[in-house]
């Protein structure tokens, strides 16, 4: 039997998590929080769009997208919503506690393909978290891309995640940032409604735009429909899908979306690959 | 504003895309440019539906007052869209508050005059109604999606 | 060097692999003994609880001598043969899946230490296995699972350890099982590769013997150790005729022409609702299927929270849990789960692994309590394609 105590010792067993320490935590909204995990000198390099399996000792694992800056190898940043047993317990962990990490897994957003083109990033709810790494990259390498548009939707102003960053992005003049909420009180002067409303009105050159969409599946479906109505082809639209994930290794079979193992050939999927099943029930 | 200027503004507005010069001139006779300051109401729930607005710039919030919760913004309408869906049919009653959230420029139709024009020219009436139907349909789609409350974890 | 008799003379041949020899029943028994003595754990067929299952066997004495079976949709029973054939049956409820992809496995355990935790890997590997009486369909099943667990982007360490050095004594089927359709799937009844020794059992006036085809150098070593007779043309012919007869007796057929696109374009076919009316989502089909690989993991801790362990166990896409995402199951209806299973098995699998996931063993048909027949379902959809 092998004892694994160092987080940098590469275990040959892909089932075994590496222990990491919570260096910092921040409560973003009532049920969403960000963790900064210590990953040692080598850092934890990743491609924007990838995820890790995060393990709470004795409770279980959850597949969580990496939400940090891809050009910053350490610490490892995750933004998590407490929706179940594992993530609920994770929300209770304090600074200094240990979380197991396996990964990174999955493919990433099509950054290379987007170079030289207009980039349209659409995030709904916590969907902004897997998109934040690609936003960081695009903003740092701004000249590589054409027009950059960020569109975000949330339930209400208080549910917005990364509010201070949204303000920073909004102030930049070299990108367009719009935020829409499902409903709001009097004091909100921004748009109210659903993300497709923003897509219907924002300037888009459909001949050279790559769209990256992440959020609840229903939101992605309607968003995709709006994007196609604006003239984008399904080959230019990328969505990040989510299914039950247990192993993230392509063994357990849970994350299959027809022929796609989302842990391996996803979670980022080009729309034209799944178009025929995207609005089908119970696939 | 002159009739020519109004006609140009009408033909430029997304809602009236494809309308010819004659129709636009006819419509110009029942429209005027209307500006709303931030916070100003375009219409109030319960009042008679006297106007039909094409939004040129700015943002209009459709809102409802919920006793105990205060005012809730339901949806905002932006440039290219319209405010006012109750004016074509009796009882011509506004069903929701509409308030400018930021300074907003509109083209405001006198609803009674507009109905007369459409009665007199059914072709123009049909053209306007199909456009209005499309706006209403898109709004219904969005409202349905809103109702699904997609961001709430079960 | 290797010798065989042909046309009344011995021919000395350079290459042994591919050649056929004769092993008497006794020599076959000795072969099993030799494998065991060499450290292999023998796994083979044996009668237990009214079925012929795979289990650890000691030797020839544990084989289902004189037993055959009768199988149909939703029905299986043993029947006594009127001879002493050792492999006079087709397939039982178990496959080789459970030897390599074991039903429950402790993946690792961990304990808290100094504010962090330490993980100890689970125990790896068993003695190398010798599969006795492996059928072609089942060997295809093993090869398919190799693609899933060993030859993909990640390799499962436990599967790899258990698969290492596996010795295969294949058996060419002397009878079809009533629900078999390996011919349709191109997976049998004759094994042409993936074995160390392939046996065809013959019982006639010349005696109870096996025509043994040598598959590997390793297989040759064991055959030489127990001794053999050369195989004459007559014996080789008899063996080939036996297999040909089996191929002509298939209980089912399945037209695989364009099947991937057929199923992909018929996701809303009314047949799914019809089969859903019968399906109990009992998961029997996935349990007996040699290629089904779904699993789930369980994380546990002891009462004081100091020790934890993770276990992997077989799962099935027929459970509600399988497709659970926060909020509910994506595949809530049995209709969608049956559709998922069949479409995955016969269509998506091709995109994922380059071959069908079905080996035509017929187990899912036999062991379905309501007798749902995968070949019948596909035929029905094909007959009204686009309905």
| Interface predicted TM-score (ipTM) of this complex, two decimals | 0.91
pLDDT at C4: 53
Q: Nearest C-alpha of chain B: how many angstroms from C360? A: 42
User: Does C9 score more than 50 pLDDT?
Assistant: no
Confidence label for C126 from pLDDT (cuts 50, 70 and 90): confident
**What's the whole-number mean pLDDT along residues C155-161?**
94
- Kindly report the average pLDDT of chain C as a whole number: 94
Residue C97 lies in a domain: yes
283 residues of chain A, pLDDT tens digit each: 333 333 334 457 999 999 999 999 999 999 999 999 999 878 899 999 999 999 999 999 999 999 999 999 899 999 999 999 999 999 999 999 999 999 999 999 999 999 999 999 999 999 999 999 999 999 999 999 999 999 999 999 999 999 999 999 999 999 999 999 999 999 999 999 999 999 999 999 999 999 999 999 999 999 999 999 999 999 999 999 999 999 999 999 999 999 999 999 999 999 999 999 998 889 9
Distance from the Cα of B139 to chain A's closest Cα (Å) equals 9
Same domain, C264 and C243: no
Q: What's the mean pLDDT when you consider all of chain B?
A: 94
Question: What does the alpha-carbon distance between residue C178 and residue C249 come to, in Å, rounded to a whole number?
Answer: 8
Residue C114 domain-assigned (yes or no): no
Query: DSSP letter string over C116-134?
Result: EEEEEEPP---SPEEEEEE
The CA distance from B25 to the nearest CA of chain A, in Å, is 27
Q: Does B46 touch chain A (CB under 8 A)?
A: no
Chain B nearest-CA distance from A236, in A, is 23
Q: Which among C206, C221, C247 is the end of a domain?
A: C247
Q: Which domain holds residue C341?
A: 259-303+315-383
pLDDT at residue B154 in the model? 64
Whether the per-residue pLDDT at C7 is higher than 80: the answer is no
Phi-psi region of A76 (alpha: psi -120 to 50; beta: other; left: phi over 0): beta
Q: What is the pLDDT of residue C253?
A: 98
pLDDT digits (tens, 9 = 90+) for B56-95: 999 999 999 888 888 999 999 999 999 999 999 999 999 9
For C259-283, write each residue's pLDDT tens digit. Answer: 999 999 999 999 999 999 999 999 9
Report the helix count and the strand count for chain C, using DSSP H and E: 14, 18
Question: What's the pLDDT score for residue B108?
Answer: 97
Among the listed residues A123, A109, A8, A12, the one whose alpha carbon sits nearest the alpha carbon of residue A51: A109
Compute chain A's Rg from CA coordinates: 19
Dist. CA A53–CA A16, nearest whole Å: 10
pLDDT of residue C258: 97
Nearest beta carbon to residue C296 from set A4, A246, A249: A246
pLDDT tens-digit profile of C310-368? 999 999 999 999 999 887 899 999 999 999 999 999 999 999 999 999 999 999 999 99
Q: If 0-12 CB within 10 Å is exposed, 13-18 middle and 19+ buried, where does residue C292 land?
A: buried
What's residue C15's pLDDT?
A: 65
pLDDT at A42: 80
Residues C46, C81 within the same domain: yes
Could you tell me if residue C183 is inside a domain? Answer: yes
> Would you give the distance in Å from CA C36 to the centre of its chain?
22
Q: Contact partners of C by the rule of 3+ C-beta pairs under 8 A?
A: A, B
Average pLDDT for residues B25-42, to the nearest whole number?
A: 96
Phi and psi at A179, nearest 5°, equal: -125, 130
At C83-111, the pLDDT tens digits run 999 999 999 999 999 999 999 999 999 99
C115 domain residue, yes or no: no
A-chain CB neighbours of C307 within 8 Å are: 58
The alpha carbon of residue C162 is apart from the nearest alpha carbon of chain B, in Å, by 42
| Report for A198-202, B4-8, C125-129, C370-374: range of highest mean pLDDT | C370-374
What confidence score (pLDDT) does residue B93 get?
A: 95
Residues C55 and C153 in one domain: yes
pLDDT on residue B69: 83
Quote the CA–CA distance of B11 and B49 in Å, as a whole number.
24
What's the pLDDT score for residue B68? 87
Tell me what percent of chain C is helix, strand and coil, each rounded to the nearest 5.
35, 25, 40
Query: Do C336 and A282 make contact, defined as CB atoms within 8 angstroms?
Result: yes
CB-based contact C138:C91 (threshold 8 Å): yes
CB contact under 8 A, C154 and A14: yes
C145 in any annotated domain:
yes
One domain, residues C92 and C160: yes
* Cα distances (Å, whole numbers) of residue A124 to A127, A128, A179, A196, B138: 5, 6, 10, 11, 20
CA C313, CA A135: separation in Å to the nearest integer?
Answer: 40
Partners of C20 in the beta sheet? C213
Q: How many domains does chain C have?
A: 2
Same domain as C277, residue C145: no
The pLDDT of residue C306: 94
Is 60 exceeded by the pLDDT of residue C1? no
**C231/C266 same-domain check:** no
Q: Is some CB atom of chain A closer than 8 A to the CB atom of C121?
A: yes
Supply the pLDDT for residue A136: 97
The H or E element spanning position A140 is: helix A128-140
pLDDT of residue A41: 77
Is the Cβ pair A19, C116 closer than 8 Å?
yes
- Whether the CB-CB separation of A275 and A268 falls below 8 Å is answered with no
d(CA C340, CA A257): 10
A153 contacts in chain B (CB < 8 Å): 151
Q: Tokens 């003049």 identify what position?
A: A173
**Are both C208 and C332 inside the same structural domain?**
no
Write out chain B residues lying below 8 Å of A215, CB-based: 150-151
Q: Are residues C174 and C293 in the same domain?
A: no
Q: Is residue C109 part of a domain?
A: no
Strands A237-240 and A209-214: parallel
Q: How many Cβ atoms sit within 10 Å of the Cβ of residue C230? A: 16
Chain B residue with minimum CA distance to A31: B153
C325–chain B Cβ distance below 8 A for any pair: no
Question: In 10 A of CB B13, how many CB atoms?
Answer: 20
Q: Are the C-beta atoms of residues A131 and A123 closer than 8 Å to each other? A: yes
Residues of chain C positioned with their CB less than 8 A from the CB of B154? 326-328
Do C230 and C333 have their domain in common?
no
Q: Does C328 touch chain B (CB under 8 A)?
A: yes
Question: Do the Cβ atoms of A219 and B74 come within 8 Å?
Answer: no
Tokens of B143: 């409202």
Helix residue spans in chain C (DSSP H): 25-37, 97-100, 136-149, 157-163, 182-185, 217-226, 233-247, 259-264, 270-278, 284-288, 334-343, 349-353, 363-367, 374-383
Residue C3: the pLDDT is 54
Q: Which chain B residues are Cβ-neighbours of C327 within 8 angstroms?
A: 153-154
Tokens of A176: 């367009």
Q: Is A136 helix (H, G, I), strand (E, B) or coil?
A: helix
List, edge to edge, every strand of the sheet that includes C116-121: A3-4, C116-121, C104-113, C307-314, C295-301
**Residue A261: which of B90, C221, C147, B53 has the closest Cα?**
C147
C171 and C282 part of one domain:
no
Q: Looking at C247, C267, C295, which one is the last position of a domain? A: C247
Is the CB of residue C148 less than 8 Å away from at least one CB of chain A? yes
CA separation, residue C301 to residues A60, B33, C192, C305, C311 (Å) = 10, 71, 48, 6, 11
pLDDT > 80? residue B113: yes
Note whether C182 and C73 are same-domain residues.
yes
Supply the pLDDT for residue A6: 35
Q: Identify the pLDDT of residue B1.
A: 83
What pLDDT does residue A52 have?
97
CATH numbers and ranges of domains, chain B: 3-153 (2.60.120.10)
**Chains touching A, CB cut-off 8 Å, 3+ pairs:** B, C
Same domain, C21 and C153: yes
Interface membership of A81 toward B (CB under 8 Å): yes
Give strand pairing partners of C139. none
| pLDDT 10s digits, C49-65 | 999 999 999 999 999 99
- Give C126's strand partners: none
pLDDT for residue C5? 52
B69, closest residue in chain A (CA to CA) = A185
Enumerate residues 183 to 212 of chain A having a beta carbon within 8 A of any beta carbon in chain B.
183-186, 188-194, 196-197, 200-201
């Amino acid at each position: 039997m092998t004892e694994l105590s160092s987080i940098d010792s590469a275990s040959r067993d892909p089932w075994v998590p590496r222990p990491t320490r919570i260096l910092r935590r921040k409560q973003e909204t009532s049920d969403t929080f960000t963790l900064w995990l210590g990953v040692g000198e080598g850092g934890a390099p990743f491609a924007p769009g990838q995820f890790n399996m995060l393990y709470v000792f004795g409770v279980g694992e959850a597949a969580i997208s990496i939400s940090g800056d891809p050009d910053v190898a350490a610490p490892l940043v995750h933004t998590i919503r407490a929706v179940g047993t594992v993530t609920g317990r994770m929300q209770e962990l304090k600074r200094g506690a240990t979380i197991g990490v396996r990964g990174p897994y999955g493919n990433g957003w099509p950054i290379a393909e987007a170079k030289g083109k207009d980039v349209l990033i659409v995030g709904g709810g916590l969907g902004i978290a897997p998109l934040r790494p690609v936003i960081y990259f695009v903003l740092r390498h701004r000249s590589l891309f054409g027009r950059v548009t960020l569109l975000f939707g949330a339930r209400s102003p208080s549910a917005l995640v990364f509010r201070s960053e949204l303000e920073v992005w909004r102030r930049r003049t070299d990108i367009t940032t719009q935020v829409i909420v499902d409903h709001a009180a009097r004091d909100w002067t921004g748009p109210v409604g659903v993300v497709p409303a923003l897509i219907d009105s924002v300037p888009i050159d459909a001949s050279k735009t790559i769209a990256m969409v992440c959020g609840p599946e229903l939101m992605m479906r309607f968003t995709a429909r709006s994007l196609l109505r604006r003239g984008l082809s399904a080959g230019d639209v990328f969505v990040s899908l989510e299914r039950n994930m247990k192993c993230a290794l392509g063994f357990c079979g849970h994350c299959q979306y027809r022929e796609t193992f989302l842990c391996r050939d996803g979670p980022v999927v080009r729309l034209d690959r799944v178009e025929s099943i995207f609005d089908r029930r119970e696939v | 504003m002159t009739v020519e200027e109004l006609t140009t503004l009408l033909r430029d507005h997304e809602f009236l895309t494809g309308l010819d010069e004659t129709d636009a001139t006819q419509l110009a006779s029942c429209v005027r440019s209307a500006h709303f300051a931030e916070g100003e109401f375009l219409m109030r729930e319960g009042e008679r539906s006297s106007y039909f607005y094409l939004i040129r710039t700015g943002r209009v919030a459709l809102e409802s007052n919920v006793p105990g919760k205060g005012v809730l913004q339901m949806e905002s309408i932006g440039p290219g869209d319209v405010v006012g869906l109750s004016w074509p049919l009796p009882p011509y009653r506004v069903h929701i508050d509409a308030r400018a959230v930021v300074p907003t420029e509109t083209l405001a139709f006198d609803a009674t005059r507009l109905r007369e024009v459409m009665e007199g020219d059914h072709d123009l009436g049909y053209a306007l109604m199909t456009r209005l139907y499309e706006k209403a349909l898109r709004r219904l789609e969005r409202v349905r999606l809103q109702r699904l409350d997609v961001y709430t974890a079960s | 060097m290797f010798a065989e008799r042909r046309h009344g003379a011995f021919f000395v041949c350079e290459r042994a692999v591919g050649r056929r020899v004769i092993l008497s029943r006794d020599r076959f028994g000795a072969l099993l003994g030799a494998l065991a003595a060499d450290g292999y754990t023998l796994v083979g067929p044996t009668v237990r609880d009214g079925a012929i299952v795979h289990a650890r066997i000691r030797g020839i004495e544990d084989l289902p001598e004189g037993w055959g079976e009768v199988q149909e949709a939703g029905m299986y029973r043993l029947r006594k043969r009127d001879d002493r054939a050792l492999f006079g049956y087709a397939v039982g409820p178990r496959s080789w899946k459970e030897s390599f992809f074991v039903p429950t496995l402790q993946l690792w355990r961990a304990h808290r230490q100094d504010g962090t935790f330490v993980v100890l890997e689970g125990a790896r590997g068993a003695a190398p296995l010798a599969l006795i009486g492996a059928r072609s369909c089942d060997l295809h099943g093993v090869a398919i699972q190799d693609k899933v667990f060993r030859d993909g982007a990640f390799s499962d360490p436990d599967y790899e350890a258990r698969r290492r050095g596996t010795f295969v004594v294949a058996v060419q089927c002397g009878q079809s099982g009533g629900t078999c359709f390996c011919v349709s799937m191109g997976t049998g009844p004759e094994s042409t590769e993936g074995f160390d020794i392939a046996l065809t059992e013959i019982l006639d006036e010349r005696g109870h013997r096996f025509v043994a085809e040598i598959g590997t150098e390793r297989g040759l070593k064991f055959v030489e150790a127990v001794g053999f007779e050369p195989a004459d043309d007559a014996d080789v012919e008899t063996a080939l005729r036996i297999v040909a007869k089996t191929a002509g007796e298939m209980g089912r057929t399945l037209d695989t022409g364009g099947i991937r696109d057929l199923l992909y374009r018929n996701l809303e076919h009314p047949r799914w609702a019809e089969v859903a009316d019968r399906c109990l989502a009992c998961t029997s089909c996935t349990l007996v299927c040699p290629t089904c690989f779904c699993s789930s993991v369980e994380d546990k801790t002891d009462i004081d929270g100091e020790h934890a362990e993770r276990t992997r166990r077989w799962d099935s896409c027929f459970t509600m849990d399988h497709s659970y995402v926060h909020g509910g199951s994506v595949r809530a209806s049995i209709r969608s789960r049956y559709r998922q299973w069949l479409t995955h098995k016969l269509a998506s699998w091709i995109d994922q692994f380059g071959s069908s996931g079905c080996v035509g063993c017929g187990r899912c048909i036999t062991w379905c309590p309501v007798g749902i027949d995968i070949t019948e379902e596909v035929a029905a959809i094909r007959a009204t394609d686009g309905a």
